[in-house]
Structure 1
Amino acid sequence: MVLSGLLLLPILLFLLYVIVRPRPVNIPIKNRHVFITGGSIGIGLAIAKQAASEGARRISLLARSLDQLEKAKQSIHQAYEVEVSTFSADVRDYGSVERAVNEAGPIDILVVNHGVFYIEELEKQGIDEVKTTIDVNLMGSFNVIKAALPLMKDRKDRGPASIALMSSVSGQVGTYGYAAYSASKYGLRGLAEALQQEVLANNIHVSIIFPPPTQTPGAKQALKTMPDITKIIVGTSTALLLEAEEVAKATIQGIKSGCFSIPFGVVGRAATVATAGLSPQRSFIMASIEVVFAGLFRFVGLLFQWNCYRIIEKNKNSHKKR
């Protein structure tokens, strides 16, 4: 039996090499136009600076606050010699987004980074917060991509282009208190998977980024309403949070490599393997890992869920006794 397994392994690996799609690609940042939504602060600004360090020709930032956009522009100019354009728009307003994109001109690298972050039990959360979360995180992403696609398809530079969507580890794993946020981030994955099939013929390559909790203004605000159970499950120590610069660096590297899924750290990579499902996979090596270790990572996932439900049951029971 062991011998037959060893004989089958090369056949399996060869089949994976043949069927893995889309094919690997290298997407340059140097001398390209990088357009970033939510680019005035946090991860978006860090991505802008990372792109500038990679030699981007032009960086366009879209956000709502003119003051924050101006500060971001000056911050980039202090460190890098790069053309920076800023656009004030609410991603929920398709018309204003379309005007900004048309004014910016053809985009080579589109980073859909904007988002809002409310963490609270659904029963306690205001329906307005739920709607805002879905409208900004999900519908806002549709608005940005739909506005940008015509110009991206008609760009004079026919080299490989990229559309990268900022999801979250909460777009892979649902957690107590994250109902609305996870719904919006899970939606981005469906968008990314379908979109990749639609734009591949135009040499446009889609990435989806799954960062863990990161030190951003939005994360700090979310801690104010985060349920106690959620704090126990995910942890709230700032020492556990990634820096925005770490997320930015991995994001740009993932975009350059044309990775569909961009995870972070050992836990993030394990979650990506465990939730691979029917997502695209360019890397023959990663495809092999996903196939060979799918069962093991499913078991690890079940252990994680067991621990989550143990925490929930323990804390719910302690509240009942009070």
Structure 2
Amino acid sequence: MVLLSLILLPILLLFLLYFIVRPRPVTIPIKNRHVFITGGSSGIGLALAHQAASQGARVSLLARSLNKLQEAKESIRRSSGLDVSIFSADVRDYDAVQKAVNDAGPIDVLVVNQGVFVPQELDKQGLDEIKFMIDVNLMGSFNVIKAALPLMKERKDRLPASISLISSQAGQVGIYGYTAYSASKFGFRGLAEALQQEVIADNIHVSVVYPPDTDTPGFEKENEVRPELTKLLAGSSGSMKADEVAKKALDGIKSGSFTVPCNFEGHMLAIATAGLSLKDLS
């Protein structure tokens, strides 16, 4: 009886979580709403900006390089005919981020996409590089979310809103040569799970997107310095185009999904690492 109880109890708990207390389906509108994307001047962020603008969103981009931001703004204007707002700031500087967010105005969909990656075995990597990745990827995300939350909570339409964190499959499973990077991306899971509990009463839905290797300018540079074993392991999941990842991400955001995998391997990792998180597995 004791053994049977030990088996049945976790099954019952999972049943309650999945069928009773899991978040109900929601649709987060994009058209005519303010979508604010960090790291939006290139790669996945820029692809997301193009797709959001094509669906009628009012788009704001934040990145460090003003020149790249201006190029991104012109690119979106040419493709969609819409103007976008751009803000040059380093996500490690909370005051600069807060000023940009306040100047941009209330945000309906926040996409926290900035990220840096320097692949290297831990014993060969300098602490300055490790700190850089943690500061930009994780602390930068805290800075952006903390700056945006007050205005997101005060939005007048009360329609469902979204905070989306662009993680990585290296945020689901550790990979050789990704020690510092994985640590910064694994942090997104805990941040998102706790944050969702704090903001659901404000009708704000948190998503975590887990892209595989994505064909971006940053990936090309990263691949040049990857350890050989890292290339073999990471390459086994395949790669995707930035537009493909952006579509998966935006679809997941619009459906209010907590976990947003981008390919088959990502779906399998999502199931294998589900734990007790409230997520859609159907």
| TM-score after normalising by structure 1 | 0.81
User: CA deviation digits over 1:218-257, x for unaligned, max 9?
Assistant: 21111122111112222289xx421000000011100010
- Which AA in structure 2 matches 1:175? I
For 1:14 and 1:134, the matched residues in 2 are separated by: 36
Q: Secondary structure at the match of 2:136?
A: helix
| Higher Rg | 1
Identity %: 66
User: CA deviation digits over 1:33-53, x for unaligned, max 9?
Assistant: 000000000100000001012
Q: CA distance change for structure 1 residues 16 and 198 in 2, over 3 Å: closer, same or farther?
A: closer
User: CA deviation digits over 1:70-111, x for unaligned, max 9?
Assistant: 000000000113230000000000000000000000000000
User: CA deviation digits over 1:129-168, x for unaligned, max 9?
Assistant: 1000000000000000000000000011210000000000
Q: Are 2:137 and 1:114 equivalent residues in the alignment?
A: no
Q: CA distance change for structure 1 residues 145 and 15 in 2, over 3 Å: closer, same or farther?
A: closer
Q: Are 2:220 and 1:220 equivalent residues in the alignment?
A: yes
For 1:163 and 1:176, the matched residues in 2 are separated by: 30
* Structure 2 equivalent of residue 38 of structure 1: 39
For 2:60 and 2:233, the matched residues in 1 are separated by: 37
Q: Secondary structure at the match of 2:90?
A: coil
User: CA deviation digits over 1:188-230, x for unaligned, max 9?
Assistant: 1110000000000000000000000001122111112211111
* Structure 1 equivalent of residue 164 of structure 2: 164
* Structure 2 equivalent of residue 229 of structure 1: 229
Where structure 1 has 5 or more consecutive residues not aligned to the other structure, the ranges are 1-7, 290-322
For 2:220 and 2:15, the matched residues in 1 are separated by: 47
* Structure 2 equivalent of residue 251 of structure 1: 249
Q: Secondary structure at the match of 2:173?
A: coil
* Structure 1 equivalent of residue 72 of structure 2: 72
Q: Secondary structure at the match of 1:224?
A: helix
For 1:55 and 1:31, the matched residues in 2 are separated by: 6
**RMSD of the alignment, in Å?**
1.9
* Structure 1 equivalent of residue 192 of structure 2: 192
CA shift for structure 1 position 55: 1.5
For 1:69 and 1:236, the matched residues in 2 are separated by: 33
For 1:216 and 1:181, the matched residues in 2 are separated by: 17
* Structure 2 equivalent of residue 137 of structure 1: 137
Q: CA distance change for structure 1 residues 236 and 67 in 2, over 3 Å: closer, same or farther?
A: farther
For 1:33 and 1:140, the matched residues in 2 are separated by: 21
- Which AA in structure 1 matches 2:250? I
Number of positions where the alignment pairs a residue of Structure 1 with one of Structure 2: 272
For residues 52-67 of structure 1, the aligned pairs below 5 Å read 52-56=53-57, 58-67=58-67
For 1:154 and 1:90, the matched residues in 2 are separated by: 25
For 2:83 and 2:107, the matched residues in 1 are separated by: 14
For 1:82 and 1:279, the matched residues in 2 are separated by: 38
Where structure 2 has 5 or more consecutive residues not aligned to the other structure, the ranges are 1-7
| TM-score after normalising by structure 2 | 0.92
For residues 268-279 of structure 1, the aligned pairs below 5 Å read 268-279=266-277
